[in-house]
Amino acid sequence: MPSPTDRERLAAVRRELAEWLAGDRAAPFVVRTGEGFCIDRAVAPALGGSLRMLWRWFLVSLGDHAPGCPLKAFFYRLAGARIGRDVCIAPGVILDPLAPQLVELEDGCLLGMGARLITHEYTATSFRLGRIRVRPGAVVGGFSTVRSGVTVGERATIGFHSFVNRDVPPGDTVAGVPARSLQRAEGSGSRVPGSEFRVEDQGSASGTRNSEPGTQNSEPR
């Protein structure tokens, strides 16, 4: 049984999450958790209750296994995802069934085979929920993972098997774990063997630093 303190925290988180869902969702929703604090008791009511979540999960599963892009898009739209025209969704793509309504796929974008768009995540100390936007003409390479709160810019490309944990600028090409920008040979950074690209140096990565785990490209080389 949750303690009175935990019940108060859960009630506060429910209110904060409801306000976030009603807003523009520009920044991810992040809440700290801890021992004995079950975030699911706050998330499920805010997302419409367990039955509605199960219904969305069922629709997403149908979309996951449906043949052909139009049929996949049909079921994903029923589950709440916003999908534009001429969107290509390859076999094996996974949309997060917990909150598919936070996925936006704009006109002419492409999700490669096995790509994963994950709108929520847990760590030992926090819970995160965020919108994922794939802008017009962008390509998410096969078996890549896009993290909650990320926008993939117009006509940007994500290389296969990448982990994208920050926004991708329009027209950029990124790859790796975590994904980093690949620049033409005349740019700065280390040359990618056998290609015309360079990968940006660690210190040249743009973006605001964030103390939340997984939000910055600070991994050792």
What the block records as the tokens of 218 is 């600070």
Query: What is the C-alpha separation between 23 and 20, in angstroms, rounded?
Result: 5
pLDDT in tens, 124-154: 888 899 999 999 999 999 999 999 999 999 9
The more confident residue out of 190 and 220 is 190
Task: Identify the weakest region by mean pLDDT among 6-10, 134-138, 163-167, 209-213.
Answer: 209-213
Kindly state the average pLDDT of the residues 11-33: 89
Q: How confident is the model at residue 180 (pLDDT cuts 50, 70, 90)?
A: very high
Query: What are the structural domain ranges in the chain?
Result: 4-17+25-201
Q: What is the fold of 4-17+25-201?
A: UDP N-Acetylglucosamine Acyltransferase; domain 1 (2.160.10)
Residues 191, 194, 199: CA angle, nearest 5 degrees:
25
pLDDT in tens, 184-219: 544 555 555 445 555 555 554 444 444 454 544 433
> Which H or E run contains 184?
strand 180-184
The pTM of this model reads 0.79
Query: What is the C-alpha separation between 3 and 6, in angstroms, rounded?
Result: 5
